[in-house]
Amino acid sequence: MESKIPTIEKNKDGYIRVRLLECLQELELSLLMLKEGFSRNSAGKAFMAWKAFISALVVLNLDKMYRDEKEREWYYKTGFLAPTTGLKGISQRLEELGYEVIDTTSTALMLHRYACNGLHKGASDYADRSEAVKDILHLINKIITLLREYFKGRWNEEIETLYKKVEEELKDFSGNRSISF
């Protein structure tokens, strides 16, 4: 989503909505790229969907995220964006608040490395593409599940329409469908 994003200071709800839409759009693109055989591009899009998801979750809980003034300043300045270098710490804090996101963040970060480095030994967590594809689909399924669970109060018609579209696209990958590369 490349439109102007509402600021968290003026419109937290608008910001969260835009991030949820971005998350779903990234999932849709990830599945499209995966269908076309572009697993690294798909992994990158799935990772971006997770970042958008975490960003929305941080803003939803912004007043609970920080423990001191220094953390407060960081979350209001940068942390709400869920920067890649801060994803582990942010996820650990969200876990403390009752959100189960640490393991999924680990998978998302592995996919990010795969998207950037491919299967290069020592720079990738995967021995072959099929391992990465399984994690891409696992991440997408996890995001779809958590979106409904953690953002049910933020749902609207636009989000529902896109959600159903992604769900439908995801069905193409269920069962024993093989993906050619």
pLDDT for 180 equals 46
Q: How far apart are CA 167 and CA 161, in angstroms?
A: 10
Q: How far apart are CA 120 and CA 58, in angstroms?
A: 33
Q: How far is CA 124 from the centre of its chain?
A: 19
Question: Average pLDDT, whole number, for the chain?
Answer: 93
Q: How far apart are CA 62 and CA 133, in angstroms?
A: 33
Where in the chain are the domains?
12-171
pLDDT digits (tens, 9 = 90+) for 110-126: 999 999 999 998 899 99
pLDDT for 9 equals 85
Please, are residues 39 and 117 in contact by the beta-carbon 8 Å criterion? no
pLDDT for 181 equals 41
pLDDT digits (tens, 9 = 90+) for 14-58: 999 999 999 999 999 999 999 999 999 999 999 999 999 999 999
- pLDDT-based confidence at 175, cuts 50/70/90? low
